[in-house]
Structure 1
Amino acid sequence: MLDAIDSDRLQALGDDPTAQYARAVIARMQADLKLKQTKIEALSFELARLKQWRFGQSSEALDTQGELFDAKTQALLQAEEQAEDRAADEERTAPGKRRPKRQPLPSQLPRIEHRYEIESGQCPQGHALRRIGEEISEQLDCEPTRFFVHRHIRGKYACACCQTVLAAPMPAQIIDKGIPAPGLLAQVVLAKHDDHLPLYRQEEIYRRSGVHIPRSSMAQWVGICGVRLEPLAQALKDHLLAQPVLHADETPVAELAPGTGKTHRAYVWVYRSALTPAVVFDYCASRAGAHARDFLQDWSGTLLTDGFSGYAALHAQDSIVEAGCWAHVRRKFFEAHKLAGSAIAQEALERIGALYGIEQTLREHPPDARTVMRQHQSQPLLDALHAWLLDQRPLLAKADATARAIDYALGRWSALCVFASDGRVPIDNNPVENAIRPLALGRKNWLFVGSPQAGSRAAVLMTLIESAKLCEVDPWAYLKDVLTKLPTWPNSRLGELLPHNWAKANTPAVST
């Protein structure tokens, strides 16, 4: 309607009050229209983002051929469905045709031999056969969880003079006079907190193997292990707080409210070292920043976070340097590009991608070398990106998704540039987010935590399990060994049982 107004007639009226009034009305209506259009775009963006979260793919890869995703998926599914036909075709292939080489089965697996001989000792024509060798083929097999029993037989001795009877002492156990051996305890703990199997599922699995273990018993075992291993988790926390660069993040979990049958939201705060393979989980009642301050109260160094306001009081301290996460910046531009088709967001993604490209080449370099190379290569890109963002921001409305992404980046710019001047600091907070993923996957299975005490015990167990995995050791072997040694292990040597030290002591030496 506004476009239909005859602007020439308004100009012909000059400074007539009617013309001035009409111009004011038109300007006001145009401003209202622009505001409403901006709100519509913002709401459309939010709707598209919610649909993406609910139905879309979680990948943040910048693929200009996204329309081919469905076709590729269908092709892969079709290929899997035809696997049996391909196998049959390979059996009919000509002998001279080269086939894919089968990978050898792991040498450490036990072998059960089955021998076959030609019993008659003669060929089909009746001639005598002479053995010249043998052909060997292998098949991989498995059986359900294997249970076995340790029988502890202690000799009993009598002293006629003292009128006493003595027996050889039993080795100290994590659960005194309990049924479970360390291997079973490690299995139950690991199945719950790493394989994400609730205890009722474990009860069914073990029953199929011929052993009935009530879930109530397993719950008691898990709780005792959490209590016994708490000093070791505390020692790992002390080791973590001695590191100069840390990641931090937090994730919600549901906690059962006593007597109500309902749950409320608690939080697990996760801290990971950027320099050593150690991660610590801290179960807390809320997301209040006081929990992070309590955990890091005497620590000084560089803290890499996602910008959550709960860390603001920590960053205000002179002893803690705030570092920003480029993955979060990229994620906001990615949403603006994918859901709103923003060309500015696409260029921002390409510029951020150049920073990550440099990081790919620096992975194997020591921190000092990374600092020098980042100053020469990354810092100029950061300066150019900052100037470009400042130029683009006035072109966008406040409610625009790209504008919000730019505001987020500019608001944390000093923290985002810390990595360029310190080679010890990673470019993003992804390592700690990766440490949170097992917890996020687990809560989809066990749904809620029964009590604050149960949450704290789970945090202890996950601290040791996830740190062992970061050290690239088998967490079951680690827990079994620790649960075997811990009852008689002196506190002065507790550091030897930390995952990174245990990994060094139990890694076979490579012969040269």
Structure 2
Amino acid sequence: MKVRQYIQEVYKCSQCGKEGSEHPADVFVGGKVPVSLLPHSLASASLVAGILYKKYDMGIPLARQERDWYRLGLCLYRSTMANWVIRSSEEYLLPIYERIHQELLGCGILHGDETRIQCNREPGKKASSESFMWVIRSGREEAVQAVFFHYARSRARKEAEKLYRGFQGYLVTDAYTGYDSLDGICRALCWSHVRRYYIDSIPLDSRGKEISGSKGAEGREWCDRLFQIEKNLKALPSEKRLQKRQELSRPVLEGFWAWVEEPSAKYTANESLKTALTYTTNQRKYLETFLEDGRIPISNNDCETSIRPFATGRKAWLFADSPAGARASGIVYTLVETAKLNHLDVFGYLCYLLESLPDLDHRNHPELLEAYLPWSETLPESCRLREHRINKKCMF
């Protein structure tokens, strides 16, 4: 860490303003200094970028950062840092955040999920009540690789309608009914969820080991066959993958549905197995959607993987104190996780945005934002991970 001090010198012309001068008024000339990120504050682009990086990528809450700054001899209060996070997100990062959302809505395959967040000062709600962070991730074969976090008071269907308005394509989710019958969207359900239901129905002995020969284990085996086929088809182009699914996956599905209808499975005293069978039967239509397009994955694991850093961070910072703070968290998590998908150095990218966007006239020229999106090829090298770090996959 280092302190960089800018001194602006201002000079007054000794001749201007005098009688007989070409300039009857005094003339002052000042040197150029960088635009202040947040006027009348100590916040620099690199300082705020470091705070964002520590909280949203490294999972260090502001309270711990406050203690670390105190150790270094600076009284930088968590309330001040929280204010900087909110202001920098709303004033500078929001346009990039909104563009990422727009780009995602133009994809053909999306993943969707929601996760809980506590917001202490949400109007009309108790501090201990739950709000939600809605998450969208692009499919692996989409040109745009991005993750989008959206804070909302509830998990109501109206939030899904607002979030996915304009999207025309396949949406991979769990069986939450809030996604049902959204305009222009064809749902595809996650087979990992099905597999978990059957795992939960497998009886265990007194030592916690699975009892062999159970119907739950059979259900898991059917799911494993589908996942093994997908693993073998992973390297194929989507058209060829679709053809192979018809040849290999469809017969497995037909056998699975026949197994589900067997009396020995259907009339069971195992309540967990009943739940698994009911879930499977009720969602059959959407569980078969992956047979329509080779790009559709059979699980929502990619989206859940993108949510994991948020869930890990939540264990450290516990809650958002205000709706503005929760929205700011959604903005920054969007940029952080999308930067990771595009092999960017998270701190370098955040620093570049906060250094550049204050001078950018994006309101009158929105096309200028293209150069600052996480997948832009014109981003400077300071935003990119070194090649050997990408190859080692040390960030994933």
Question: What TM-score do you get using the length of structure 1 for normalisation?
Answer: 0.66
Read off the aligned partner of 1:302 and give its amino acid letter.
Y
Asked whether 1:270 is paired with 2:135, we answer yes
Deviations 1:264-286 (A, max 9, x none): 21111111111232011110001
Choose which of 187, 190, 199 in structure 2 pairs with 1:322.
187
| Counterpart Cα distance in 1 of 2:386 and 2:304 | 33
* Structure 1: stretches of 5+ with no match in the other structure: 1-146
Question: Could you say what secondary structure the match of 2:262 adopts?
Answer: helix
Evaluate the alpha carbon distance shift between residue 387 and residue 498 of structure 1 in structure 2; reply closer, same or farther with a 3 A threshold: same
- Give the deviation of 1:244 after TM superposition: 0.9
- Give the deviation of 1:262 after TM superposition: 3.4
More displaced 10-residue stretch of structure 1: 251-260 or 370-379: 251-260
Choose which of 225, 245, 250 in structure 1 pairs with 2:109.
245
- Give the deviation of 1:338 after TM superposition: 4.9
- Give the deviation of 1:403 after TM superposition: 2.3
Q: Is the 8 A contact 1:155 1:167 kept in 2?
A: yes
In structure 1, the partner of 2:19 is none
| Counterpart Cα distance in 2 of 1:155 and 1:255 | 46
| Counterpart Cα distance in 1 of 2:385 and 2:120 | 45
Asked whether 1:156 is paired with 2:19, we answer no
Question: Could you say what secondary structure the match of 2:202 adopts?
Answer: helix
* Structure 2: stretches of 5+ with no match in the other structure: 17-22, 205-209, 388-396
Deviations 1:171-199 (A, max 9, x none): 22321343222111111012122222221
Read off the aligned partner of 1:371 and give its amino acid letter.
L
- Give the deviation of 1:261 after TM superposition: 8.2
In structure 1, the partner of 2:319 is 448
Evaluate the alpha carbon distance shift between residue 508 and residue 329 of structure 1 in structure 2; reply closer, same or farther with a 3 A threshold: closer
**Larger CA Rg, structure 1 vs 2:** 1
In structure 2, the partner of 1:137 is none
| Counterpart Cα distance in 1 of 2:360 and 2:350 | 14
In structure 2, the partner of 1:235 is 99
In structure 1, the partner of 2:175 is 307
Choose which of 355, 360, 372 in structure 2 pairs with 1:484.
355
Read off the aligned partner of 2:288 and give its amino acid letter.
C
Q: Is the 8 A contact 2:117 2:130 kept in 1?
A: yes
Choose which of 68, 72, 81 in structure 2 pairs with 1:218.
81
Choose which of 203, 217, 225 in structure 1 pairs with 2:66.
203
| Counterpart Cα distance in 2 of 1:225 and 1:502 | 24
Asked whether 1:363 is paired with 2:234, we answer yes
- Give the deviation of 1:306 after TM superposition: 0.4
Question: Could you say what secondary structure the match of 1:501 adopts?
Answer: coil
| Counterpart Cα distance in 1 of 2:119 and 2:385 | 42
Q: Is the 8 A contact 2:168 2:185 kept in 1?
A: yes
Read off the aligned partner of 2:10 and give its amino acid letter.
K
Structure 2 matches for 1:437-476, cutoff 5 A? 437-476=308-347
Evaluate the alpha carbon distance shift between residue 428 and residue 408 of structure 1 in structure 2; reply closer, same or farther with a 3 A threshold: same
More displaced 10-residue stretch of structure 1: 248-257 or 231-240: 248-257
Evaluate the alpha carbon distance shift between residue 406 and residue 176 of structure 1 in structure 2; reply closer, same or farther with a 3 A threshold: same
Question: Could you say what secondary structure the match of 1:232 adopts?
Answer: helix
| Counterpart Cα distance in 2 of 1:350 and 1:508 | 40
- How many residues are treated as equivalent by the alignment? 361
- Give the deviation of 1:330 after TM superposition: 0.1
| Counterpart Cα distance in 1 of 2:42 and 2:187 | 50
Choose which of 500, 508, 511 in structure 1 pairs with 2:375.
500
In structure 2, the partner of 1:403 is 274
Read off the aligned partner of 1:497 and give its amino acid letter.
Y
In structure 2, the partner of 1:350 is 221
Deviations 1:459-498 (A, max 9, x none): 1111111111121221111101111111122422112211
Question: Could you say what secondary structure the match of 2:112 adopts?
Answer: strand
Evaluate the alpha carbon distance shift between residue 504 and residue 200 of structure 1 in structure 2; reply closer, same or farther with a 3 A threshold: closer
Asked whether 1:174 is paired with 2:37, we answer yes
More displaced 10-residue stretch of structure 1: 438-447 or 234-243: 438-447
| Counterpart Cα distance in 2 of 1:332 and 1:200 | 39
More displaced 10-residue stretch of structure 1: 341-350 or 197-206: 341-350
Q: Is the 8 A contact 1:173 1:484 kept in 2?
A: no
| Counterpart Cα distance in 2 of 1:456 and 1:258 | 12
Q: Is the 8 A contact 1:398 1:404 kept in 2?
A: no
Question: Could you say what secondary structure the match of 1:431 adopts?
Answer: helix
Evaluate the alpha carbon distance shift between residue 330 and residue 231 of structure 1 in structure 2; reply closer, same or farther with a 3 A threshold: same
Read off the aligned partner of 2:111 and give its amino acid letter.
H
Evaluate the alpha carbon distance shift between residue 504 and residue 186 of structure 1 in structure 2; reply closer, same or farther with a 3 A threshold: closer
Read off the aligned partner of 1:280 and give its amino acid letter.
F
Evaluate the alpha carbon distance shift between residue 493 and residue 509 of structure 1 in structure 2; reply closer, same or farther with a 3 A threshold: farther
| Counterpart Cα distance in 2 of 1:504 and 1:373 | 39
Question: Could you say what secondary structure the match of 1:369 adopts?
Answer: helix
Evaluate the alpha carbon distance shift between residue 394 and residue 215 of structure 1 in structure 2; reply closer, same or farther with a 3 A threshold: closer
State the percentage of identical aligned residues.
32
In structure 1, the partner of 2:201 is 336
Question: Could you say what secondary structure the match of 1:248 adopts?
Answer: strand
Structure showing greater relative contact order (alpha-carbon pairs closer than 8 Å, 6 or more residues apart) = 2
Deviations 1:283-311 (A, max 9, x none): 00011111001111221111111000111
| Counterpart Cα distance in 1 of 2:70 and 2:238 | 52
In structure 1, the partner of 2:392 is none
Read off the aligned partner of 1:241 and give its amino acid letter.
L
Q: Is the 8 A contact 2:259 2:265 kept in 1?
A: no
Read off the aligned partner of 2:174 and give its amino acid letter.
D
Asked whether 1:425 is paired with 2:296, we answer yes
- Give the deviation of 1:451 after TM superposition: 1.6
Q: Is the 8 A contact 1:393 1:406 kept in 2?
A: no
Choose which of 46, 49, 52 in structure 2 pairs with 1:186.
49
Q: CA RMSD in A?
A: 2.3
| Counterpart Cα distance in 1 of 2:320 and 2:149 | 15
Evaluate the alpha carbon distance shift between residue 300 and residue 258 of structure 1 in structure 2; reply closer, same or farther with a 3 A threshold: closer
Q: Is the 8 A contact 1:255 1:450 kept in 2?
A: yes
Question: Could you say what secondary structure the match of 1:422 adopts?
Answer: coil
Evaluate the alpha carbon distance shift between residue 395 and residue 432 of structure 1 in structure 2; reply closer, same or farther with a 3 A threshold: closer
| Counterpart Cα distance in 1 of 2:54 and 2:267 | 51
| Counterpart Cα distance in 1 of 2:316 and 2:371 | 34
Read off the aligned partner of 1:172 and give its amino acid letter.
V
Q: Is the 8 A contact 2:192 2:300 kept in 1?
A: yes
Choose which of 157, 160, 163 in structure 2 pairs with 1:292.
160
Deviations 1:396-445 (A, max 9, x none): 23763212212211211121111123111111011111111122122222
Evaluate the alpha carbon distance shift between residue 225 and residue 304 of structure 1 in structure 2; reply closer, same or farther with a 3 A threshold: same
